[in-house]
Amino acid sequence: MGMQNLEELFQQKIDKEVKIEPKDWMPEAYRKTNLRQISQHAHSEIVGMLPEGNWISRAPSLKRKAILIAKVQDEAGHGLYLYAAAETLGQSREQMINDLHSGKAKYSSIFNYPTLTWADMGAVGWLVDGAAIMNQVMLTRTSYGPYARAMVRICKEESFHQRQGFETLLVLSKGSKEQRAMCQDAINRWWWPALMMFGPRDSESTNSDMSMKWKIKRKTNDELRQQFVDMIAEQVKLLGMTLPDPDLRWNESRNHYDFGEINWDEFWQVVKGNGPCNKQRLDARRKAWEEGAWVREAAQAHANKQRTRKKAA
């Protein structure tokens, strides 16, 4: 069968909503795009453990501490499913991790912002997980089978995290003057970076066209961002807080909220590595990996010895 035929058959499957599975033929660019996206997503889960992990030791009650630890642990679990999904495309987890550490592979820029107060635990859950869910719900229907199935499990946990985040802020919003100020401040700092999570404007996005055709993505960056703004602009009212955007207002004719312009210079600076925590996050990941090397070697050596002993017995 000619290459062109294979590509046609592949596209027909996509058009008929048949999932692509690891052993199916796929165009090299499809494999690469999925590998890049899934591994990037896995890295985001793992790096994403750091900003929230920052508050585990200082959580203000035992219940909050347990919830926060469980949440950060869930992210480790998500990382694990996603690395496994990415491995079906022919790259080892170790290689992916090396690419993260060398800076070759990216992760979501949002995790390059610092978590400065306890209220950030709420804002991250509500806004960051909230923005992630928009994308992830869409990805439960993505064309690559292992990715879509991983996303189904992840979405269930993420929507729980988002509610927990909102509830954390709700308690602060009903609390003391200092707690309310802490709540508003966290929303102010996380709002714009959360909007940036949807990526460049559609007119500037390089990977979008093919990803839509192959149904890796099903909605554009701008569509998802609008959906998010519409949702959060309503929810913030329940907190009695505001979003830091003077241009935010309901537009009757569009049936959507209008909102102000993102600071794209900041967006690109953080992507390029100049965010407030890019260096700290990568250093922390590298340190954990390097300091764990002797542990991984010991486990391997022990397993090898066990095998040899079994054979000898």
Q: Which residues bind other proteins (CB under 8 A)?
A: 46, 49-50, 53, 56-66, 69-70, 72-73, 76-77, 79-80, 83, 118, 171-172, 174-176, 178-179, 284, 287-289, 291-302, 305
CB nearer to other proteins: give 46 or 241: 46
Least distance CB 73 / other proteins (angstroms)? 4
Residue keyed to tokens 């219940």: 63
Least distance CB 297 / other proteins (angstroms)? 6
Least distance CB 155 / other proteins (angstroms)? 19
Least distance CB 250 / other proteins (angstroms)? 33
CB nearer to other proteins: give 156 or 302: 302
CB nearer to other proteins: give 3 or 62: 62
Least distance CB 147 / other proteins (angstroms)? 18
The identity of residue 123, as a single letter, is: A
Least distance CB 279 / other proteins (angstroms)? 17
Dist CA 26 CA 20 (whole Å): 8
Least distance CB 101 / other proteins (angstroms)? 14
CB nearer to other proteins: give 172 or 270: 172
CB nearer to other proteins: give 79 or 275: 79
CB nearer to other proteins: give 1 or 293: 293
**What is the number of alpha carbons within 13 Å of residue 137 lying toward its C-beta?**
11
CB nearer to other proteins: give 41 or 64: 64
CA distances from 311 to 297, 301, 302 (A): 21, 15, 14
Token pair for 3? 């290459």
Q: How far is CA 155 from the centre of its chain?
A: 11
